[in-house]
C-alpha cells in the first residue's frame, strides 16, 4: 500500500517537474521570440532612417535643379549632393548584400600580396579628400605585406577608421599604428571618442548591435559594419578585437593578419578588367537597351559627353531591330526588360552573323556569382551591377 502511494507521489513529482520544464522552455522561447522581433523592428527602423537621409538629399537636389536650372552655383551644389548621396545609398545596399553573402558562405576572396600600410594610407587620404576628417589623426605605419583580397581589406580598414571618426567628436584624436609582430601584421585604431560601455562589449561584433543612440541618430549606421569586419577578417585567417575603459573613455580596435613569409612584394597578374581595357576594341557607337527611362537617359548623356554615339531602345525587340540597322560596336543590355528579357536579347543578337563583332555588356541589379555565370552563358562578354560605376564602364571600353 505504502509502495503504491510512494510510486504515485513519485510519478506526480515527475509530471510536475516535466510541466515546470516545459513552462520554462516555453517562457524562454517566448523571450527569444520577443527579442528577435525587437531586433527586427529596431533594424527596420534604422534602415528606414538610413535610407530616408540620402533620399531626402537626392529629392532636395532634384527640386533645387527644377527651381533654378540656369543658376550655375545651385547646379554645382545639387550635382555634388546627388553624387555623394548616391554613393551613400550604394554603400548601404552593398553592406546588406555582403551580409547576406557572408551568411551563406558565398564570399570568395581574390587573394594577392597586399601592402597593408598602402591600404591604410589610401583609406585615410580618401577620407581627408572627402572632408570627413575633423580630428587630430596620426598614422605610424610599417610596411606589412599580407595575402589578402585588397577590396575586402580596404572595406575592413575603411570600416574601422570610419567607425573611429564617427564616434569621436570633432577635435578628438585618432591614432593609427601598423607594425610587424612575430608572424602577424598588427593594425591598431585608437580614438578618444565615446568609448564602449562594458555591457555592450561582449556583443560588440554581433549583427545590428550598437551603443545607445539619440533620436536624431547623428552617428547613423545600420549596426552591421563591425559584424562584416569580423566575418571578413576571419576569412583572411585573422582576428579582430576591441578594448575600452568604458563610456566616454575612447576605444581601440586591433586587427591581426598573418604576414607573408617574405616581405618583398610578389608581382601579381594584372586584373582581368585592366587587361580587357588595354586590349579593348575601339568603340564609337553604343546601343543602350534599358526600360527605365531615367537610368537610360542619364547613362546615354554620360556616354555622349564622353564622345560616343549613343542609340537607345526601351525593349528587347526594338533594341534588336536597331542593332540590325545600325550595327553598333557595343550593346549595354538591361536584364530585367519587359517581355523579352536581357538573356533572350543576348541569345538573339549572338545568332545575327552581321553582329558578330558587337560586344555585349549585361547590366542588372543582381550581382551574385550565379547571375554573372548566367549572363556569360547567355552570350554576354561582361556583367555589370547597378548602380553602374561609370569609371568601371570606361575601363572596359579602354577609355
Supply the pLDDT for residue 215: 34
Q: Are 364 and 371 in contact (CB under 8 A)?
A: yes
Q: Is 40 exposed, middle or buried (0-12, 13-18, 19+ CB in 10 A)?
A: exposed
Supply the pLDDT for residue 49: 64
- Its pTM stands at 0.55
Return the DSSP state at 236.
T
The residues of the chain that CATH labels 1.10.287.130 are 2-103
The residues of the chain that CATH labels 3.30.565.10 are 112-258
The residues of the chain that CATH labels 3.40.50.2300 are 272-396
Phi and psi for 112 in degrees, rounded to 5? -145, 160
| Residue range 2-103, CATH number | 1.10.287.130
Return the DSSP state at 351.
T
Rounded distance, CA 114 to CA 95, Å? Answer: 23
Q: Which CATH number fits domain 272-396: 3.30.559.10, 3.40.350.10, 3.40.640.10, 3.40.50.2300?
A: 3.40.50.2300
Q: Could you give the 3-state DSSP secondary structure of residue 105?
A: coil
Pairing type for strands 145-148 and 112-115 reads antiparallel
Q: Which residues pair with 113 in a beta bridge?
A: 147
CATH architecture, domain defined by 112-258: 2-Layer Sandwich (3.30)
What's the Rg (C-alpha) of the chain? 27
How does pLDDT run along the chain (399 residues), one tens digit per residue?
A: 556 766 766 777 777 878 888 888 888 788 777 777 776 666 666 677 677 767 877 888 888 788 777 888 788 888 888 887 887 788 778 777 777 777 777 777 888 899 999 999 988 888 887 677 788 899 999 999 999 998 889 989 988 998 898 889 988 999 999 999 999 999 999 999 989 888 888 777 776 555 444 333 344 454 577 888 888 999 999 999 999 988 888 999 999 999 987 554 444 433 333 333 333 345 689 999 999 888 888 888 889 888 899 999 999 999 999 999 999 999 999 998 988 999 999 999 999 888 988 999 999 887 777 888 899 999 999 999 888 888 888 888 875
Angle, alpha carbons 288-293-296 (nearest 5°): 30
150-166 and 225-235 helices, crossing angle to 10°: 150
Supply the pLDDT for residue 198: 85
Residue indicated by cell numbers 555623394: 84
Return the DSSP state at 354.
G
Supply the pLDDT for residue 267: 40
Supply the pLDDT for residue 379: 92
Angle, alpha carbons 47-254-224 (nearest 5°): 10
What are the start-end ranges of the E strands in 142-294?
Answer: 145-148, 173-181, 184-191, 239-243, 251-258, 285-289
Burial state string for 274-307 with b = 16 or more CB within 10 A and e = fewer than 16 = eebbeeeeebeebbbbbeeeebbeebbeebeeee
Amino acid at each position: 500500500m505504502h509502495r503504491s502511494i510512494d510510486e504515485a507521489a513519485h510519478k506526480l513529482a515527475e509530471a510536475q517537474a516535466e510541466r515546470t520544464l516545459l513552462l520554462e522552455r516555453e517562457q524562454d522561447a517566448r523571450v527569444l521570440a520577443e527579442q528577435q522581433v525587437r531586433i527586427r523592428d529596431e533594424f527596420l527602423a534604422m534602415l528606414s532612417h538610413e535610407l530616408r537621409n540620402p533620399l531626402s538629399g537626392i529629392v532636395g537636389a532634384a527640386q533645387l535643379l527644377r527651381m533654378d536650372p540656369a543658376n550655375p552655383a545651385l547646379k554645382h551644389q545639387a550635382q555634388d549632393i546627388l553624387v555623394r548621396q548616391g554613393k551613400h545609398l550604394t554603400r548601404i545596399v552593398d553592406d546588406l548584400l555582403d551580409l547576406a553573402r557572408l551568411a551563406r558562405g558565398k564570399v570568395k576572396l581574390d587573394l594577392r600580396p597586399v601592402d597593408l600600410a598602402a591600404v591604410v594610407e589610401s583609406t585615410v587620404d580618401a577620407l581627408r579628400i572627402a572632408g570627413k576628417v575633423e580630428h587630430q589623426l596620426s598614422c605610424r605605419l610599417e610596411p606589412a605585406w599580407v595575402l589578402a583580397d585588397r577590396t575586402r581589406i580596404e572595406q575592413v580598414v575603411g570600416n574601422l577608421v570610419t567607425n573611429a571618426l564617427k564616434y569621436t567628436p570633432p577635435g578628438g584624436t585618432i591614432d593609427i599604428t601598423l607594425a610587424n609582430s612575430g608572424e602577424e601584421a598588427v593594425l591598431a585604431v585608437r580614438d578618444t571618442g565615446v568609448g564602449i560601455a562594458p555591457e555592450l562589449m561582449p556583443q560588440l561584433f554581433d549583427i545590428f548591435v550598437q551603443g545607445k543612440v539619440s533620436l536624431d541618430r547623428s552617428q547613423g549606421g545600420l549596426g552591421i559594419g563591425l559584424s562584416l569586419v569580423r566575418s571578413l577578417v576571419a576569412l583572411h585567417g585573422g582576428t579582430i578585437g576591441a578594448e575600452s575603459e568604458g563610456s566616454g573613455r575612447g576605444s581601440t580596435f586591433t586587427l591581426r593578419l598573418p604576414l607573408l613569409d617574405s616581405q618583398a612584394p610578389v608581382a601579381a597578374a594584372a586584373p582581368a578588367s585592366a587587361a580587357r581595357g588595354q586590349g579593348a576594341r575601339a568603340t564609337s557607337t553604343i546601343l543602350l537597351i534599358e526600360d527605365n527611362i531615367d537610368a537610360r537617359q542619364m547613362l546615354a548623356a554620360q556616354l555622349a559627353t564622353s564622345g560616343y554615339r549613343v542609340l537607345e531602345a526601351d525593349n528587347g525587340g526594338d533594341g534588336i531591330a536597331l542593332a540590325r540597322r545600325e550595327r553598333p560596336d557595343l550593346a549595354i543590355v538591361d536584364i530585367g526588360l519587359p517581355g523579352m528579357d536581357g538573356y533572350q536579347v543576348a541569345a538573339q543578337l549572338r545568332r545575327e552573323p552581321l553582329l558578330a563583332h558587337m560586344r555585349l555588356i549585361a547590366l542588372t541589379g543582381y550581382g551574385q556569382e550565379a547571375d554573372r555565370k548566367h549572363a556569360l552563358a547567355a552570350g554576354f562578354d561582361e556583367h555589370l551591377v547597378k548602380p553602374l560605376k561609370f569609371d568601371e564602364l570606361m575601363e572596359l571600353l579602354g577609355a
